[in-house]
A and B are shown apart, each in its own frame.
Chain A
Amino acid sequence: RSDRSAQTKPPSAMSSDSVSTSAELSPDDDVTMTSCWSHLLTAKEVMYICPFRGPLRGTVNVTNYRLFFRCMDQEPVFVLDLPLGVVSRVEKIGGASSRGDVSYGLVCKDMRNLRFAHKQSEDALKKSIFEVLMKYAFPVSNGLPIFAFEYGQVFPENGWKVYDAIAEYKRQGIPNESWRVTKANDHYELCDTYPSSLAVPVNIPDEDIRRVAAFRAKGRIPVLSWIHPESQATVTRCSQPMVGVNGKRSKEDEKYLQAIMDANAQSHKLFIFDARPSVNAAANKMKGGGYESEDAYQNAELVFLDIHNIHVMRESLRKLKEVVYPNIEEPHWLSNLESTHWLEHIKLIMAGALRIADKVESGKTSVVVHCSDGWDRTAQLTSLSMLMLDGFYRTTRGFQVLLEKEWLSFGHRFQLRIGHGDKNHTDADRSPVFVQFIDCVWQMTRQFPAAFEFNENFLVTMLDHLYSGLFGTFLCNSEQQRVKEELPKRSMSLWSFINSQLEDFSNPLYVNYSNHVLFPVVSLRHLELWVGYYVRWNPRMRPQEPVHQRYKELLARRAELQRRVEELQREVTNRSASSSSERAGSPTRSITPVQTFV
């Protein structure tokens, strides 16, 4: 590891619960390393009740970023390193017992639960770990800043510059004769959960767009996500139409969708993919929402993709956690996994994205994608189908652009879905929608191991920092809020960290598939549980054997051989040149030296 990367390495959110002998993880070093860490508490003689190794006695240090437990009795030294942002709830277990023991558990967002116990402190003035955690694990609830605003690490790369909406539209060839970029949402007046620049059909004036906004839930009008470079078929996204029980219609909306269809000369049809199960879509009519009727929208075909809502997904992941943590029940593993329906949900999302990609690529037909609000399932579907359709998004930076665009700028409500620094762990708005998306991406990397520039570590690191609170990237709910909070000024971007040490996140097998569209097989025969993420806390699971390491060794070997061959080539050239010149010196020969290669 080079000196530079050592400097830029932020505290790891990953290595928790792993055995580490490395001295660099010592909390004391952390305190001295940067001023942004404030040390809050040290408690000795604390018991970490490890579900795998049994109770371990050691010392706990808590800073405003993390909890650090170290047990010296074990060989090698056992270390637990937990960013406080990962904690979903802290709870006391049992009452204080007669012997004065206190025990409490931490339920974490990253698929684990931790338990600690210690003797009741005699010093009443001293704060208990419990109190400190209750305060600093939930800074937002306690009027404290999220750690990202205090993290002062400087990186050589500036990740906030990765995405520029206009540049990305330009990459796609927008504006063109059919699509323009409107300023109607410049100050988020049209839709406060959308980005400021939007691509819309050329022939729809801004006044009409405002009327369309009135007919779409939360003003989320259909806008362009992606355009096919050849056929001009497009992926557009929006929220549900406000049809209601009475079947309200909007001339402007109908005209708007017609314009989307007309922008693609290759097809006289438009597909509307409603991500929801049809029952749910119909039920939304009671709340003023609903779906496009095929009577109102001529030439449009409506397809329901049967993907369930955030509550179902949350429940599914909760069940999955029960099945994988701490131990995997051996006899009924697969049927237990089946009963969580997690892979089935993954399948439905991927199947939906595949249908979209297929319609656009093979059918050359434009598609409109929406669910209810168009910021959860819709984001999953558009970004996944774009990942299948466009090789750019399969590069490391391209993927960052995809996330910045389809998730962050289009208002996936990260703050609400993750609950950053919020103690209200039962909040019904929380849901692992983004985790699910990353899982789908991982499934794709499994089926096409050479088609992605990034590796599994990249995906895991992203999920770790989704919760860690170290970076500003996943804070807030919308572009408007991010601008208001001045995130780029006050916090670091995760991409700054990642792009400063791309080596760690790159897939050496990557082969540019150029314009090849990936069609994954969305069958349970190929989908598998992402053990590298969900089961990683289990010490009986070892990290993936370093094939990538081996590949890098081969690369180094090739470079070495190349060097030697070139050296020899030079030598031979020189030798033949010098021998020719010798010969040239003799009066009988006067041929010009010719370079010869063996």
Chain B
Amino acid sequence: CQCTRNPGPGSGSSLIPLFLCITSGEIVVNEVNFVRKCIGAEKSHDDLWGKLICTNFKVSFVTHEALAQPRFQVSNRLLGEHDIPLACVDQVVTVNDAKGKKKVLGSNQKLKFNPSELILYCKDFRIVRFSFDEAGPEGAKKVCLAIAHYSRPADPQLLFGFELIGTRYLEDGLNGARPAGGSQTPLFACSSDWDREIKRTGAAEWRVCSVNQGYGVSPSLPEFFVVPASLADQDLRQYAEAFSGQRLPVWCWNHPNGSALTRMAAITDPLQQKRLDQRICNAIIKSHPQRGDVHKADLDKNLPSIQQVNNSLVRLRHICVIDPFEETEEKWLSSVENSQWLDYVRTFLKHSCDVVYILEGLNASVILQEEEGRDLSCVVSSLVQIMVDPHFRSLSGFQSLVQKEWVMAGHRFLDRCNHLKKSDKEESPLFLLFLDCVWQLMNQYPSAFEFTETYLALLSDSMWVPVFSTFLFNGPKHHDFLEDKKITLGEGEELCLPPVWDWSQQLSITDQALFNNPIYVGKAAPYAHNGAVKSFRRTKTGWSSTLRGTPPALARNGLQGSQGTLPRRNSLAAQLKSDLFPVRDVPESPSERFARDWFSGPADPQGLLLPQLLPSHLALWRLYFLRWVPEAVIPRGGPVTAVHAVSQLAHEIETLQSQLRRYKGPTPGSTPRASPAGGPPGTPHAEPSRMFFKAGSLYEPSPPPEFLSSSFPFTPVGNLCRPNLRGTPISKLLNGAKTWLSTETLAGETA
């Protein structure tokens, strides 16, 4: 085999890799030459010829010749342009045109025909198709079987990340770089990160406890977590037994008014339930500076289950990428509705708003309760914090939030991503749902987030690159897990996989500029022209004043509290009801009223943000769901063209600022990095621009370049090739089925 070490896109990103890009620890399993990668649905001159390779990490396609016109694409340092990580492959379908046979391949299966075509359905919504008409039949078959086999590892040890561990990363990182870039993001694996978070939020009556050091109490809780100061370690040890998974109540975050957001698992011991509940509540009340009340939010009761969320995504995937474009067009809106995806997005946002209302409007603490406390509560607790605390809308804040509320809180990424393709029942795209919720907020408040939707999409795609500690485990206790596997290490070497936050593993510094939102209003940036910089705390008092007369109760959505009084009704109004002039019948809940009052004023991007939750205000996240669909690409259009325009302006500001600095010389106390206009601190000469799109000649904004489209920086070319299946459209047969194509149905045809 002619494997060559990739020169690295960083050293020559303009080069189109004509050879296989190999990461250390990667082994070629099988390969076949003279394969055609299908670009169009029918036979086409645009199709690419090359070699199809299966390694223990990815499916690679190496073209025989460079493309005529280089397309713009973010180049991933771990993956070539046509590569698909095995973890991203959802289903492997082989087809024999002549015999009219197709088969979904699993691990260790036999294939009784020579495939003429291979279709890979990917978890990131791509559909990639290869044709073998000119390739050796035996070689093609072998590669197909290898892909099927290696994309379904029987054991986590076989996931590529673990192969990697013993090898190169420990020496000098995946790409020859020490994991330094990600170190800015607190991982919450040590007690100091928690201490800092307590200080930042002013949670004086809370403490970091270390009862779980060595995972002695709960295997799925982090070694350090935060509890009410009034609870002693010995109490905690004693209580733990009564909770599902020994998951004690843990602190997530404190509102500036002192109310705390906490989460806990169900109490499994019915005898202890009442007593324990009481104790926990009392402790939380004691930790509130005003002794504010505690409200419990029962998430299992009020939110969809993880299976419902998964089924919803399956339906959405069908209408977005599998069903023929024109056929779905007529019923598009109702199909989107039937997928229920937006419904679920809305439900999670709505529930999070209700929690915000309790914290903010009622000045009370909240316990998010869920059976295991590591799925739905991850979504809700992080959304609440993003809405209230602007820190989590900065890039590093957001990453620390994911680390705190997902990774350390024990979200089962391994199971939910179904990396081992072991149990479909456990699979659920909760993290994607969360990212979608964040996108909705971003869509409504475009200047409130430091990062872009491109960042969210790339983060989501990183789930399927199984080399990051972030998405590979079921809980923070993965160190032990690795030790169990007897992965041998050199003396004194620290055992670790890089977190995804170390973005230099995947992207060049230039490409990382795609993360930066040019219109972000940073903390120190003057938002109002009159010089008054609105701070997080100051705006807060504003809303409280609008809450006069609101009964301190919330009776909806399972958030316990006393019945709220209905808005005063006039008898005349009731009498005058008519069909033509309907008056809203459903009384407004206090939290809705809270939201309405809030909506009547201007929003401060550095203050509280509430999403508008009318169904008409939630949109489909087009960049994520439609990026591969060629028919849906707007050439030189889409939201990115607005980003392009603002980036040029922001870049001009950066240039002017560095000019200023050059005149003045480096100032000793350089301004803290805040807004894009602020620019990062440090030496004025070496600093790279934070903007991906640079201004051309000053003050003359240029039109969007040719490569810009609504899919940017992704390209649909060759990434969505709907299979031309004969007979009944397979998608119709299998509507709503768990898998894209059911194994049973198709396997029968091959007999």
B721 at interface, CB cutoff 8 A: no
Per-residue 0/1 for B552-595: is the Cβ within 8 Å of any A Cβ (1 yes, 0 no)? 00000000000000011110110110101111100000001001
A103 to B596, CA, bound (A): 28
Q: Which of A507-561 contact B (CB under 8 A)?
A: 509-514, 516, 518-521, 523-526, 528-529, 531, 535, 538-542, 545-547, 550-551, 553-558, 561
- B595 touching A525 by the CB < 8 A rule? no
B657 at interface, CB cutoff 8 A: yes
Per-residue 0/1 for A551-580: is the Cβ within 8 Å of any B Cβ (1 yes, 0 no)? 101111110011011001100100000000
A101 at interface, CB cutoff 8 A: yes
A332 at interface, CB cutoff 8 A: yes
- B580 touching A564 by the CB < 8 A rule? no
- B641 touching A450 by the CB < 8 A rule? yes
A193 to B90, CA, bound (A): 63
- A521 touching B603 by the CB < 8 A rule? no
B14 at interface, CB cutoff 8 A: no
Interchain CB contact (< 8 A) of B616 among A101, A333, A520:
A333
Specify which chain B residues have a CB less than 8 angstroms from the CB of A451 in the assembled complex.
Answer: 637, 641
Which of A101, A451, A520: most chain B CB closer than 10 A?
A451
- A338 touching B331 by the CB < 8 A rule? yes
- B703 touching A49 by the CB < 8 A rule? no
Interchain CB contact (< 8 A) of B636 among A516, A539, A541, A545:
A516
A217 at interface, CB cutoff 8 A: no
Q: Which of B358-409 contact A (CB under 8 A)?
A: none
Rounded to whole Å, the gap between the CB of A220 and the closest CB of chain B is 34
A546 to B645, CA, bound (A): 16
Interface stretch of the complex, out of A29-37, A284-292, A321-329, A477-485: A321-329
A546 to B446, CA, bound (A): 9
B98 at interface, CB cutoff 8 A: no
Rounded to whole Å, the gap between the CB of B400 and the closest CB of chain A is 25
A328 to B582, CA, bound (A): 12
Specify which chain B residues have a CB less than 8 angstroms from the CB of A562 in the assembled complex.
Answer: 656
Per-residue 0/1 for B721-749: is the Cβ within 8 Å of any A Cβ (1 yes, 0 no)? 00000000000000000000000000000
- B677 touching A541 by the CB < 8 A rule? no
Q: Which of B630-679 contact A (CB under 8 A)?
A: 631-639, 641-642, 644-646, 649-650, 652-653, 656-657, 659-660, 662-664, 677
B615 at interface, CB cutoff 8 A: yes
Rounded to whole Å, the gap between the CB of A572 and the closest CB of chain B is 7
Specify which chain B residues have a CB less than 8 angstroms from the CB of A113 in the assembled complex.
Answer: 580-581
Given known A54-B567, A514-B703, A561-B653, contact A449–B583 (CB-CB < 8 A)? no
A6 to B702, CA, bound (A): 34
Rounded to whole Å, the gap between the CB of A507 and the closest CB of chain B is 10
Given known A449-B641, A509-B645, contact A531–B329 (CB-CB < 8 A)? no
Rounded to whole Å, the gap between the CB of B292 and the closest CB of chain A is 26
A328 to B639, CA, bound (A): 27
A55 at interface, CB cutoff 8 A: yes
Interchain CB contact (< 8 A) of A550 among B447, B572, B626, B639:
B447
B704 at interface, CB cutoff 8 A: yes
Whose C-beta in chain A lies nearest to the C-beta of B615?
A333
Given known A334-B615, A526-B634, A558-B656, contact A93–B578 (CB-CB < 8 A)? yes
Rounded to whole Å, the gap between the CB of B119 and the closest CB of chain A is 23
Specify which chain A residues have a CB less than 8 angstroms from the CB of B650 in the assembled complex.
Answer: 554
Whose C-beta in chain B lies nearest to the C-beta of A522?
B329
- Tally chain B residues at the interface, Cβ within 8 Å: 83
Specify which chain A residues have a CB less than 8 angstroms from the CB of B332 in the assembled complex.
Answer: 338, 523-525
Interchain CB contact (< 8 A) of B659 among A76, A538, A565:
A565
Specify which chain A residues have a CB less than 8 angstroms from the CB of B656 in the assembled complex.
Answer: 558, 561-562, 564-565
Rounded to whole Å, the gap between the CB of B184 and the closest CB of chain A is 26
Given known A542-B603, A550-B447, contact A51–B583 (CB-CB < 8 A)? yes
Q: Which of B507-541 contact A (CB under 8 A)?
A: 519, 521, 527, 529
- B576 touching A547 by the CB < 8 A rule? no
Which of A103, A518, A554: most chain B CB closer than 10 A?
A554
- A332 touching B646 by the CB < 8 A rule? no
- A551 touching B519 by the CB < 8 A rule? yes
Whose C-beta in chain A lies nearest to the C-beta of B657?
A561
A447 at interface, CB cutoff 8 A: yes
Interchain CB contact (< 8 A) of B619 among A105, A450, A528, A598:
A528
Given known A55-B570, A450-B645, A545-B447, contact A328–B614 (CB-CB < 8 A)? yes
- B580 touching A568 by the CB < 8 A rule? no
Classify chain A: how many residues form its interface, as a range.
35 or more
Per-residue 0/1 for A389-432: is the Cβ within 8 Å of any B Cβ (1 yes, 0 no)? 00000000000000000000000000000000000000000000
Interchain CB contact (< 8 A) of A554 among B649, B660, B710:
B649
Whose C-beta in chain B lies nearest to the C-beta of A542?
B599
Rounded to whole Å, the gap between the CB of A241 and the closest CB of chain B is 32
- B646 touching A93 by the CB < 8 A rule? no
Interface stretch of the complex, out of B58-66, B103-111, B248-256, B333-341: B333-341
Specify which chain B residues have a CB less than 8 angstroms from the CB of A512 in the assembled complex.
Answer: 701, 703
Whose C-beta in chain B lies nearest to the C-beta of A558?
B653
Given known A509-B642, A516-B636, A564-B660, contact A115–B576 (CB-CB < 8 A)? yes
Specify which chain A residues have a CB less than 8 angstroms from the CB of B619 in the assembled complex.
Answer: 528
Specify which chain A residues have a CB less than 8 angstroms from the CB of B664 in the assembled complex.
Answer: 568
Specify which chain A residues have a CB less than 8 angstroms from the CB of B580 in the assembled complex.
Answer: 93, 105, 107, 113
A94 at interface, CB cutoff 8 A: yes
Known: A54-B569, A561-B653. 17 other contacts (CB 8 A): A47-B570, A94-B576, A103-B576, A113-B581, A338-B333, A448-B636, A449-B645, A521-B637, A526-B634, A531-B614, A535-B616, A540-B613, A540-B614, A547-B642, A554-B519, A555-B649, A564-B660
Q: What are 29 sample pairs from A and B whose C-beta atoms fall under 8 A apart?
A: A47-B572, A51-B582, A53-B567, A54-B567, A54-B583, A105-B578, A117-B572, A328-B615, A333-B616, A334-B334, A334-B615, A335-B334, A337-B616, A338-B333, A343-B333, A450-B645, A451-B637, A511-B645, A513-B704, A523-B329, A524-B333, A531-B614, A539-B600, A540-B614, A542-B612, A545-B444, A547-B519, A556-B529, A558-B656
